[in-house]
Amino acid sequence: MMRSVIRNSGFALLFAITLISTGSRAQDKGPIQIASGVTYEFLDRWDIGRLNQILQTDTPKFSGIPVTYTPARNAVRLYRVTYSSVVPERGNKPTVATGLLAVPDTKDTTFPMVSYQHGTVYGKQQVPSFAEQSPETQLMIAQFAGQGYLLIGADYFGLGLSDEPEGYMVKASHQQASYDLLTASRAVLGHLRLDSTKLFLAGWSQGGFVTMAFLQKLESAGVTVQAAATASAPVDVFVALNGFLNFPRKNDAAWVPTLFILSSFAFEHYYGVPGLARSLLNDAYYDVSRKAYERQPFEAADVPTDLRKLIRTEYFDPQFFAASAYGRLVAQTEAYRWLIKSPVRNYYGEADEAISIGLGQLAMTYQRAIGNGNPQVEAVSTGETSHRGTFARAVPQWKNWFDAL
């Protein structure tokens, strides 16, 4: 009898172990639904060798400058999270979005979290949840997830697997996509029996704007953020675009026209202003610009690098631009004019072809102009760095700062 009990107990234990093992591997078998509107699927495991190649070879090639990064100390498991959200500008229209969750492959169960907001992309899937196509996301995975941080990153509406038109620089939609990914990712972590502790925010270029906008939403919701860091952040789009139109610099990027194209079509759709893009763009370039925004095939050489060819003449009059429907929407697209409570560092490059030094320092300047000065925002120079170089040099400084907190 006793031998039978022992045999049965042993079988039960073996069966239980098998169930646990099967459950831990189930995440590799396709999408798993864990809550209403939230699913996740395992994508890949990047080992330490792959992560260090990103840090030592791939990123310097992408950025054009040598930067020393802290080597990865653990492998990383990558997941795509699909989640329900709403489009605020369209009356909270229901939508579905995607994003990345990168988890350190260690025995730990609790980690600090970084929410990374990506920069402007030209391919629909050059976004966090398609990390193989996103060099900036690869760097964040290698430097943060490879060092024991959870990393999340929203693909934004219209990108990744989203069916929406791209919501380029549409503030409330960027905030919503990021906020709902944070909520969905925490649900996934709970299903994986993991937990997050401190929350950090980071973003480059367009993602720097989104990071500041996301911080504003989190603070208004009472969510604690340990720190937020940006690189080359256009915190005031009206300042940025006015500079390109009326005070151009010798080093302004050849791709600056893209900013007008993507934002005009996105604003037209999300804010419901028919004909907005056509009112801004010269007729000769409207069709190719629309194709670029919609990610249809087009010849890049057909998009002029000279703004005076692309943009209608009247928009180079500052008063006309400010009073136009497009200009008024642009003027609302800022992410620094509130009383910031969280520690913020805005990194800027002194040779950045997209973000001027003044714009890189703007959030700090504004906050310190409030009475005796709000010291929470600090602008930090990365030296004579380009747009990509600023990002590459800022990332390890973000990491050192977050570690210290």
Please tell me whether residues 210 and 248 are part of one structural domain.
no
How is the beta sheet containing 38-46 ordered, strand by strand? 32-35, 38-46, 76-87, 93-104, 150-154, 110-117, 195-204, 227-231, 344-348, 377-381
Q: Cβ of 223: how many Cβ atoms within 10 Å?
A: 14
Would you say residue 244 lies in a domain?
yes
Would you say residue 108 lies in a domain?
yes
What is the pLDDT at residue 92? Answer: 98
Q: DSSP code of 301? A: G
Q: Cβ of 15: how many Cβ atoms within 10 Å?
A: 10
Would you say residue 31 lies in a domain?
no
Spell 374-383 as b/e; 16+ CB within 10 A means b: eebbbbbebe
**Of 331, 351, 386, which residue constitutes the final position of a domain?**
331
Query: Domain range holding 296?
Result: 238-331
Please tell me whether residues 135 and 194 are part of one structural domain.
yes
What is the pLDDT at residue 28? Answer: 59
Rounded to whole angstroms, the Cα distance separating 214 from 266 reads 19
Please tell me whether residues 361 and 285 are part of one structural domain.
no
Would you say residue 226 lies in a domain?
yes
Instruction: State the total domains in the chain.
Output: 2
Please tell me whether residues 268 and 319 are part of one structural domain.
yes
CA 245 to chain CA centroid, Å, is 26
Please tell me whether residues 305 and 170 are part of one structural domain.
no
**Of 300, 331, 362, which residue constitutes the final position of a domain?**
331
Would you say residue 216 lies in a domain?
yes
The domain that holds 94 is classified in CATH as 3.40.50.1820
What is the pLDDT at residue 127? Answer: 98
Please tell me whether residues 121 and 71 are part of one structural domain.
yes
Would you say residue 11 lies in a domain?
no
Would you say residue 313 lies in a domain?
yes
pLDDT of the chain, 405 residues: tens digit per residue = 444 443 444 444 444 434 343 344 344 568 999 989 999 999 999 999 999 999 999 999 999 999 999 999 999 999 999 999 999 999 999 999 999 999 999 999 999 999 999 999 999 999 999 999 999 999 999 999 999 999 999 999 999 999 999 999 999 999 999 999 999 999 999 999 999 999 999 999 999 999 999 999 999 999 999 999 999 999 999 999 999 999 999 999 999 999 999 999 999 999 999 999 999 999 999 999 999 999 999 999 999 999 999 999 999 999 999 999 999 999 999 999 999 999 999 999 999 999 999 999 999 999 999 999 999 999 999 999 999 999 999 999 999 999 999
Please tell me whether residues 250 and 363 are part of one structural domain.
no
Question: In sequence order, what E strands does 125-241 have?
Answer: 150-154, 195-204, 227-231
Would you say residue 21 lies in a domain?
no
Please tell me whether residues 57 and 160 are part of one structural domain.
yes
Please tell me whether residues 207 and 320 are part of one structural domain.
no
**Of 331, 353, 387, which residue constitutes the final position of a domain?**
331
Please enumerate, as own/partner, the contacts of 237-244 that have beta carbons within 8 Å and a separation of 24 or more.
237/169, 237/209, 237/263, 237/330, 237/333, 237/334, 238/327, 238/330, 238/331, 238/333, 238/334, 239/358, 239/359, 239/362, 240/354, 240/355, 240/356, 240/359, 241/330, 242/318, 242/321, 243/356, 243/359, 244/307
What is the pLDDT at residue 30? Answer: 83
Please tell me whether residues 132 and 255 are part of one structural domain.
no
Structure tokens at 188: 């996934």
Please tell me whether residues 167 and 292 are part of one structural domain.
no
What is the pLDDT at residue 361? Answer: 98
Please tell me whether residues 99 and 190 are part of one structural domain.
yes
